[in-house]
């Protein structure tokens, strides 16, 4: 129970980001003066703003470990999930030295790579490289489900291409709705750019400008050098 928190050395809060807005201040209220409280949610500005004047702000560390799958709950646990993965730490300077050291030791033992970022930059970048991918995947799934009434056709024809682009559409709506709510402004910006790129590509097809269709793909192939 929440009352047993006072004997904890480290508390890791891993819940949907709307729930962590309730839970992080409550947990900070309860823990002893040596404890470290870590949150691991996918948005960082709202939680950092929320706790900025909390009397135990120095015992809190805002993190975002970039790891996980489309599945959630205890049965989705993966051994060594964090090994070699990046952990983004926000406002590390607002965490006391003692708690910083404890956190870094913990992440080192898990084999994580550490990056530091301010919460505003984090939320902007992550809208592009994570949140947009989820919307792109959910809407792709929706488009195909709406069209393909005979589900066996999807199964038979999907191949590995559709499967990997639509994988994130299996993700939990309870986890993702509050992320989209908290990062709304950045996500709308990224969606506008994505929709505009798709519309432009469609126009090239309509106008039969296949040299430009080719070049659009060729320049995006650069992703190969970045994500091996």
Helix axes 17-30, 173-182, angle to 10 degrees: 80
Residues in the interface with a copy of itself (CB under 8 A) total 91
Under rule CB under 8 A, residue 218 binds a copy of itself: yes
Contact present, 115 and 92 (Cβ < 8 Å): no
**Whole-angstrom distance, CA of residue 100 vs CA of residue 104:** 6
The span from the first CA to the last CA of the chain, in angstroms, equals 44
Q: Which of 20, 28, 140, 149 binds a copy of itself (CB under 8 A)?
A: 140
Choose one: 29-37, 45-53, 55-63, 193-201; the region binding a copy of itself (CB under 8 A).
193-201
Under rule CB under 8 A, residue 58 binds a copy of itself: no
Taking alpha carbons only, the member of 117, 104, 149, 134 closest to residue 194 is 134
Q: Which of residues 76-95 bind a copy of itself (CB under 8 A)?
A: 85-86, 88
List CB contacts of 34: < 8 A, sequence separation 6 or more. Answer: 9, 98
CB 78 to a copy of itself: min, Å:
11
CB 145 to a copy of itself: min, Å:
6
Under rule CB under 8 A, residue 67 binds a copy of itself: yes
CB nearer to a copy of itself: pick between 1 and 160: 160
Q: Which of residues 151-190 bind a copy of itself (CB under 8 A)?
A: 151, 153-171, 173-174, 176-178, 180-181, 184, 187-188, 190
**Whole-angstrom distance, CA of residue 107 vs CA of residue 113:** 8
């Amino acid at each position: 129970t929440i009352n047993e928190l006072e004997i904890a050395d480290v508390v890791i809060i891993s819940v949907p980001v709307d729930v962590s807005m309730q839970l992080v201040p409550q947990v900070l209220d309860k823990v002893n003066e040596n404890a470290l409280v870590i949150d691991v949610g996918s948005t960082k500005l709202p939680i950092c703003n929320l706790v900025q004047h909390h009397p135990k702000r120095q015992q809190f560390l805002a993190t975002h470990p970039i790891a996980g799958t489309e599945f959630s709950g205890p049965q989705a646990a993966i051994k060594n999930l964090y090994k070699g993965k990046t952990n983004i730490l926000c406002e590390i300077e607002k965490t006391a030295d003692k708690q910083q050291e404890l956190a870094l030791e913990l992440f080192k033992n898990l084999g994580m790579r550490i990056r530091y970022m301010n919460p505003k930059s984090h939320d902007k970048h992550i809208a592009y490289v994570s949140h947009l991918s989820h919307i792109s995947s959910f809407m792709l799934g929706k488009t195909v489900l709406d069209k393909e009434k005979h589900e066996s056709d999807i199964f038979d024809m999907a191949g590995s291409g559709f499967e990997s682009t639509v994988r994130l559409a299996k993700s939990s709506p309870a986890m993702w709705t509050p992320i989209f709510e908290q990062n709304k402004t950045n996500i709308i910006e990224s969606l506008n750019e994505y929709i505009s790129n798709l519309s432009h590509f469609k126009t090239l097809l309509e106008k039969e400008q296949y040299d430009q269709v080719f070049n659009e793909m060729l320049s995006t192939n650069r992703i190969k050098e970045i994500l091996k």
